[in-house]
Amino acid sequence: MGESTVKLLPLAIVFGLFSLFIISGLRTRKRQASEYGFAGGYTGRVGIGAAIASNWMSAASFLGLAGMFYLKGYFAMAYVVGWTGGYVLLLVLMASQIRRFGKYTAPDFVGFRYDSQAARTLAAFISVIIAVIYSVAQFRGIALMVSWLFGIAYTPAVFIGASLVVSFVVISGTLGAARNQKLQYFVLIITFILPLMLLTRKLGYFWLLPQFGYGAAINDLQQQFGFAWSQPFTSESLLAWFALCFSLMFGTAGLPHVLSRFYMVPGIRDARWGVVWGLFFIALIYWSAPAYGILARLFEAKNGIAFDAANLASADTVVLSAALNGGLPAWVTGLLVAGGMSAAFSTVAGLMLTGSASFSYDIYPRLIKPKATEVDKVYASKGFFLLLAVAAMLLALQPTRLMIAEIAAMAFALAGNTIFPAFLLGIWWGRANAAGVITGMLAGMAITFAPFVFGDSIPLLSLLFPITSSAFLGAPLVIAIMITVSLLTAPPSVEIRSFLSRNVHDCPED
Amino acid sequence: MSTQKDPSVCFFRPNGKSMRREIRVIALVLAAWLVAIIGSQFAVFLLAHTTQGASLSRWTFFNLPIPFWLTGQFLPLWFIIICAVFNIWMDRHAGRDLDGTLRFRVSADKTRGE
């Protein structure tokens, strides 16, 4: 992958795809009013599912997951199970209840439910941090793709990638292009599965369903090359697997940009069925992702390329290197890169817009300019968007020992330690109050970041709360703290408890 | 049971027939979710760490080794199945309750909420 030439055909495919997104976004905007009339029907639910899936798919899913399989084999299954199993929690415990609250953002929900501006501001602050961490993972993915496309080093690729993201958001925003998420999901699935089918076909495996066909590669790697790294629990323990898996699940049910999918769906049934379709669409990608990691190792072994576990950038681009080492034509690798970049771009754009909205509506008027007008807030939002992009870009430039999927896992851990307990108790326990949620969210932040700061001097912290899996023990601990503090302080107002009982849970009036 | 003085909702003390039924189903779904995750991983662990298991885990079904099947293919499918079952139950259950209640709020959008 070290060729320092511009890959013209793949570059043209990437630009073509992004132009298609903008053009179709402009068309979608014109049609949207009439489409809403049918939003409650069957097509609407599939559409909501596609929107959930395309909103979800990021560089961590498209590139990072395969990279984790390439490095850690079976252990990476914790990502597959964590990122799909979290939707079960989301569906049964939160989706329809959030819709009934009628609030539009995570800070909005926390502020209303706990009747506290401080809790709302804290939730906004956490949402911004989550957006930044998650964006760093996306920026790394984008920079690796840009680095390959233009044949340049990683550092300038980060700057170019960040400029491209900001330009894309500004151009889409100026033209008023809506996100056509159905088209985006369709593109993602095609660009991910088609190259995989071609690769398995080249190897003579069962190519029609490469999700199963790659199993032959596991056997070949073992029998021909003696590689057993993909076997279960060879590198990490069962407990570490559970910790990562459950941390990701709690995080899935606590990520603000995932939860926000349920605020505005037309109906509660649509919200629920949208989750099932979304989960199916997500699973289609995750059933396939392990194949890239395994096939990349096989192609390397066949081509005599030595495996280097320390080269994380190379591991994060195994989707691409599998296609290159497998000898796929340039247009197919172009499709793969275009798919990866569109996944990262849409996620980063969504995260940064959510983050800047949290800042301009929840933090700026409360902490910085109390008398801010609507115009001030719009400017604050635009300014903060740029600030977020710069912050994520600078962090992406830092050397790290973490893979893309692991950086994303940190964002999940933070969400699982803070927003997830706030929503869970906020919906299912009327007695949870503002003091409880504020203490809980602060404790959740401490649990997430303490291993970074004190991990070296207090090894127990890193053992109990590993940075990628801290919500496994962290979330239950935060829930216990929230319950204890809530019980020791005054209950929430009768209005809030009655609202929760009557309007959210449909309980009879006594 | 909650009383007139305390309208607080609690997952472990559901109030009213509708909420009790819903929580029973939620608990069943969560049990199916948890048992499948923990059970499958213990099975995979045993396959990897026992002599009989080692020979079993060499078996493949439709090309894939059993551990990859169980975790990578079956668990996501299982999650989809239990979510669909939950939704079917909720559709029937919520539909019945709505006939008997006028309390359900219709929000600002033009479509009916449920």
Give residue A132's identity as a one-letter amino acid code: V
A319: its two tokens: 């989707």
pLDDT at position A41: 38
What gap in Å lies between CA A101 and CA A114, rounded to an integer?
A: 12
Nearest by CB to A430, from B9, B38, B94: name it. B9
Give residue A266's identity as a one-letter amino acid code: P
Average pLDDT along chain A? 87
Region of poorest pLDDT, from A162-166, A383-387, B21-25, B96-100: B96-100
Residues of A in contact with B22 (CB under 8 A): 505
pLDDT at B111 over 70: no
CB-CB under 8 Å, B15 with A430: no
pLDDT at B100 over 50: no
Cβ(A294)–Cβ(A267) under 8 Å?
no
A78: its two tokens: 């914790």
DSSP letter at A489 equals S
| Tens of pLDDT, residues A429-480 | 999 999 999 999 999 999 999 988 887 888 888 888 999 999 999 999 999 9
DSSP calls for A283-323: HHHHHHHHHHHHHHHHHHHHTTPPP-TT-HHHHHTHHHHHH
Q: What ipTM score was computed for the predicted complex, to two decimals? A: 0.91
In Å, how far is B60's CA from the nearest CA of chain A?
8
What gap in Å lies between CA A61 and CA B76, rounded to an integer?
A: 15
DSSP letter at B105 equals P
Taking the Cβ of residue A214 and every Cβ of chain B, the question of whether any pair is shorter than 8 Å is answered with yes
Residues of B in contact with A286 (CB under 8 A): 72, 76
Nearest by CB to B79, from A88, A211, A234: name it. A88
- From chain A residues 190-209, the ones with a CB under 8 A of any chain B CB are 205-206
Sign of CA dihedral A364, A135, A266, A176: positive
DSSP calls for A56-110: H--HIIIIIHHHHHHHHGGGGHHHHHHHHHHHHHIIIIIIHHHHHHT-SSHHHHH
Q: How many Å separate Cα A63 from the centre of its chain?
A: 12
Give mean pLDDT, residues A374-387: 89
| Tens of pLDDT, residues A25-59 | 887 655 544 333 333 333 578 888 888 898 888 88
Please name which of A83, A198, A87 lies closest in space to residue B72, comparing C-alpha atoms: A83
pLDDT at B2 over 70: no
Taking the Cβ of residue A402 and every Cβ of chain B, the question of whether any pair is shorter than 8 Å is answered with no
In Å, how far is B8's CA from the nearest CA of chain A?
4
Interface size, chain A vs chain B, as Cβ–Cβ contacts under 8 Å? 187
